[in-house]
Amino acid sequence: MLTRIEIDGFKTFSKFSLDLRPFTAIVGPNASGKSNLFDALQLLAALSETDVHTAFQDLRGEPEEFFRHTSEGQSNVITIAAELFLRATGNDDFGKKFSVPSQRLRYEVELQIGYNDVGAPLGIFVTNEFCRSLKRSEDSADFLAPLNPNYGRYSVPFIRKNDSGDALLVRQDGPSKSGNPMQFSLREASRTALSTISNADFPHLYAVRKALGAIKFLEINPQAARKPSDRFEKTVLRPDASNLAAVLNRIREQTRRPDRPNGVLSDIAADLAALIPSVCGIEVQADDRRDYAFNVKFTTDLSFSSRVISDGTLRLLALLTVLNDPDRKGTLCYEEPENGVHDGRIPTLVEIIRDATVIRSASGQTFQVILNTHSPKVMEELRDEEIVAADLISQVVPGSERVNTRTRMRTGVTAVSDLFEPEKHLSRSEVDRLLQRPGDSG
């Protein structure tokens, strides 16, 4: 789970920081930077898994476009930092169990455009990386208290620069640790040191990598979601929901019992019925080739295949599948949940999402949802502490007539606007006014 994000030099972000909760809703007009935050999170997640070039390719736009442009010119440095809560135990990719004595960690990465002698860009490179434990005294995520996080006693960072600043030192802290840290050159580094961690010899860094890699984005493509799924298809929902049938089948097989033959599919159907009252069930079938498909049943005794049900129904079904998945974990980023939902059903939808993120101390498992919305109706249903208000502000450069813009996101929403700091806090009526501002993109 992400508890804090800091961004500088990326698109509209300048010295930006935001504390995150298990359920956080970024509320603001179009063109306020809401989608830019998701882009930064997507880049951070990708950098934990792959090389820099591929990480930028997966974003919308050319790599240089993601470096902040101001009236003084273009920045050539991006820094992103995240604070995380990690599960205390786990298994690596080879089935080896590991434990994480320090569950609160901070990870930072710096990227820079490299140029040759005549000023032509050579590429984007990792120029710094850092990871350390957080102390209890630094931890402001009070919502984690039911989980009683372990803080450990690690004074030496897990990743840091060497004394000469030309390499990264990566400390092994697992059972088979050696005395000397691993060293990674920073001379035109094309990927993060974190992305090379593949086993439990580095339990803390492995857990950080998995936590960042578990930041998922749901951008449902109804045409893709309608298609049958191959029986060998992966069973974690893809961002476009193209394997929805396979995921529904896995959930049914994983959770079915003699007294409950559809398992958790019954819960998904119940939530869908709360949003679309005519729905009464979901069926998964396998054809002769063992491809999986699904139908949605209605109270009229009719059953419609995925090929003909509406885009809105598919969008809701995919979201509810993620929220009810017994294997759900990590962070889900989801834009405009109000799309395709009748205003009268939005209170139910918000409550379903909120319930999926409730911290349950018995399991120690956490699941986080970060929403983007410009819907006043969604905002009405949010609690004060769940709201982050986004807007784009302009500031005059001291000593000049030039103006720079940056994204601002504020928490601390209150019912009234008495005795608060305008840069950090605001009232609900002000958020309402923000939502009335025109814009053309997120």
pLDDT, average across residues 224-233: 91
Q: What is the pLDDT of residues 97-131, one digit of tens each?
A: 999 999 999 999 999 999 888 888 889 999 999 99
Indicate the DSSP class of residue 135.
P
Q: Could you tell me which residue, 139 or 422, shows the higher pLDDT?
A: 139
Establish if 49 belongs to a structural domain.
Answer: yes
Q: Which of 216, 249, 284 is the last residue of a domain?
A: 216
Q: What is the pLDDT of residue 401?
A: 77
Mean pLDDT of the chain: 90
Looking at the fold, whether 97 and 80 belong to one and the same domain comes out as yes
Tokens in use for 424? Answer: 């950090």
Of the ranges 171-180, 240-249, 277-286, which one carries the lowest mean pLDDT score?
A: 171-180
Q: Which of 216, 244, 260 is the last residue of a domain?
A: 216
Looking at the fold, whether 137 and 232 belong to one and the same domain comes out as no
Establish if 417 belongs to a structural domain.
Answer: no
Q: What is the pLDDT of residue 376?
A: 92
**Domain span at residue 316?**
217-328
Looking at the fold, whether 200 and 221 belong to one and the same domain comes out as no
| Structural contact between residues 272 and 317, judged by C-beta atoms closer than 8 angstroms | yes
pLDDT band of 152, cuts 50, 70, 90: confident
Looking at the fold, whether 161 and 172 belong to one and the same domain comes out as yes
Looking at the fold, whether 108 and 201 belong to one and the same domain comes out as yes
Establish if 407 belongs to a structural domain.
Answer: no
Between CA 315 and CA 438 the distance in angstroms is 26
Question: Which amino acid would we find at residue 439?
Answer: G
| Number of domains into which the chain is organized | 2
Between CA 193 and CA 127 the distance in angstroms is 11
pLDDT band of 178, cuts 50, 70, 90: low
Q: What is the pTM of this model?
A: 0.92
Q: What is the pLDDT of residue 423?
A: 65
Of the ranges 155-164, 197-206, 247-256, 426-435, which one carries the lowest mean pLDDT score?
A: 426-435
pLDDT over 50 (residue 322): yes
Looking at the fold, whether 210 and 224 belong to one and the same domain comes out as no
| Structural contact between residues 338 and 25, judged by C-beta atoms closer than 8 angstroms | no
Q: What is the pLDDT of residue 296?
A: 95
What is the share, in percent, of the chain residues with pLDDT greater than 90?
Answer: 70
pLDDT over 90 (residue 435): no
171 to 162, 174, 227, 261, 328: CA distances (angstroms): 12, 9, 46, 49, 30
Q: What is the pLDDT of residue 154?
A: 81
Establish if 67 belongs to a structural domain.
Answer: yes
Q: Which of 271, 298, 328 is the last residue of a domain?
A: 328
Establish if 92 belongs to a structural domain.
Answer: yes
Looking at the fold, whether 93 and 144 belong to one and the same domain comes out as yes
Q: What is the pLDDT of residue 442?
A: 46
Q: Catalogue the E-assigned strands of 299-402.
A: 303-305, 330-335, 367-373, 387-396
pLDDT band of 441, cuts 50, 70, 90: very low
Between CA 247 and CA 155 the distance in angstroms is 43
pLDDT, average across residues 370-390: 94
pLDDT over 80 (residue 31): yes
Establish if 434 belongs to a structural domain.
Answer: no
Looking at the fold, whether 187 and 222 belong to one and the same domain comes out as no
**Of 172, 246, 203, 248, the residue nearest 105 (C-alpha):** 203
Between CA 299 and CA 288 the distance in angstroms is 28
Between CA 279 and CA 170 the distance in angstroms is 53
Q: What's the CA angle centered on 410, arms 407 and 412, to 5 degrees? A: 180
pLDDT over 60 (residue 6): yes
Q: What is the pLDDT of residue 440?
A: 42
Of the ranges 117-126, 289-298, 300-309, 412-421, which one carries the lowest mean pLDDT score?
A: 412-421
pLDDT, average across residues 431-442: 67
Looking at the fold, whether 94 and 233 belong to one and the same domain comes out as no
pLDDT, average across residues 66-76: 88
Looking at the fold, whether 117 and 149 belong to one and the same domain comes out as yes
Establish if 350 belongs to a structural domain.
Answer: no
Buried residues in 393-406 as b, exposed as e (16+ CB within 10 A) = eeeeeeeeeeebeb
pLDDT band of 318, cuts 50, 70, 90: very high
- Beta bridge partner(s), residue 368: 331
Helix ranges, 260-370 (H): 265-275, 311-324, 346-356
